[in-house]
Amino acid sequence: MAASEQGPIGFVGIGMMGVPMVNRLLATGHRVALADANPAALEPYAGREGASRPATLAELGAGSEVVITMLPNGKIVEDVVFGRDGANDGLAAGLKAGSVIVDMSSSSPVGTRALAARLAERGIKLVDAPVSGGVKRAVDGSLAIMAGGDAADVERLRPVLGAMGRQVFHTGPVGTGHAMKALNNYLSAAGLLAAGEAMLMGQKFGLQAETMVDVWNASTGRNNATEVKFKPFIIPRTWAAGFATGLMVKDLRTALELAEATGEPADFARLCTEIWAAAEAKVGPGSDHTEIVRYLEGLGTPGDEAA
C-alpha cells in the first residue's frame, strides 16, 4: 500500500502522540483525513497539503480504507467507531466492507477482541497496533509498533505503519498487540518503581544518585528507567518524561485485566499496581510518571515531601 496508490488515511486523535504521528504520515507522502473531539487540535492543519478535515466521523470513514485511532482508552475508541450510546454515527457508519481500523491506542486486549467481533459482522477488519517510544520517537518515526491481527492485514499496513515506526512486530491474532503493550508498560512501571526505591535507599546510605545510575547502567540492574529517565528527569527533578501517571496506572490495570482473563495470579503486578495507584492519588493523574519517585520520597519522611 504505497502512499501514491491509496486514498486518504483516516486519523482520529490529534493529541500529544497523534500530532507527530500525523506529521510523519504527511511527510512520507500520505494523505490524511483528520478528526478530533477538540476542533482546535485540527487548526494547525488548515490548508496543509495532504491534510483534510471531514465534517463527521461517518464521512471520514466513507472516504478512507484505513483509519487509525490514537485515543486515551478503548471505551473512547468504541464510541468513535460505533457512536456514543449506540447512535450509529461513528466511523462504522461510513466504512465499507474490507476497510481496516488500526487502533494504536493503549486499549484493553479483552475489549479489543470484542470490538473486532462486532466489526467483523460488518465486514470491517481491526488491527490493534499500539506503540512504544513516547513523543520523542514519534517525532523521528522510530516508534516500536506491536500489531495484532491477521498476518495479511498487518503486511498490507506495513508501509503505513513504517512511516511512524522503525520496528513493526506482528504479535499474533487481534488483541495481542494491546496485550503486548500492557505487559511492556507493566515491566516499565515495575522497573522504574524498583530503581526509585533502590536510589532512595542508596542515598540514605551515602551513595550519590549519579554514581548509582552509572553503575546500574554498566551492570545487570540497568533498565529503561536507569538508562533514559533518571539523569534527565528524576535526579534534576524536572519530572518531564512526557507520560502521565494516570496513563501508567491505566496500563497496569489493563495488565491485571489480562491476568484475570488468563487465570494468572500475577501477585507482583497487583502489588505494583497498588503502589502506582496510591502515587496517582497523591501526585495526581496528570503528573509525569517519573514523579513516582517523588511519591516514594514522601513515604520515607515524617513530613510530606511528595506534596
Residue range 139-165, pLDDT digits in tens: 999 999 999 999 999 999 999 999 999
Q: Which domains does the chain have, with CATH numbers?
A: 3-173 (3.40.50.720), 180-299 (1.10.1040.10)
pLDDT classification of 303: cutoffs 50, 70, 90: very low
Percent of the chain surpassing pLDDT 90: 91
- pLDDT for 57 equals 97
Pairing relationship of beta strands 32-35 and 100-103 according to DSSP bridges = unpaired
User: What spatial distance separates the first Cα and last Cα of the chain, rounded to whole Å?
Assistant: 51
- Active-site annotation holds for 250: no
The average confidence (pLDDT) of the chain is 94
Checking if the pLDDT of 201 tops 60, the result is: yes
Residue range 212-271, pLDDT digits in tens: 999 999 999 999 999 999 999 999 999 999 899 999 999 999 999 999 999 999 999 999
User: What backbone torsions phi and psi does residue 130 show, to the nearest 5 degrees?
Assistant: -65, 165
- pLDDT for 301 equals 56
Checking if the pLDDT of 98 tops 60, the result is: yes
Amino acid at site 115: L
Catalytic residue among 125, 181, 229, 282: 181
pLDDT classification of 52: cutoffs 50, 70, 90: very high
Nearest to 197 by CA among 46, 62, 299: 299
* 237 CB burial (10 A radius; 0-12, 13-18, 19+): exposed
Q: Which helix (H) or strand (E) holds 20?
A: helix 18-27
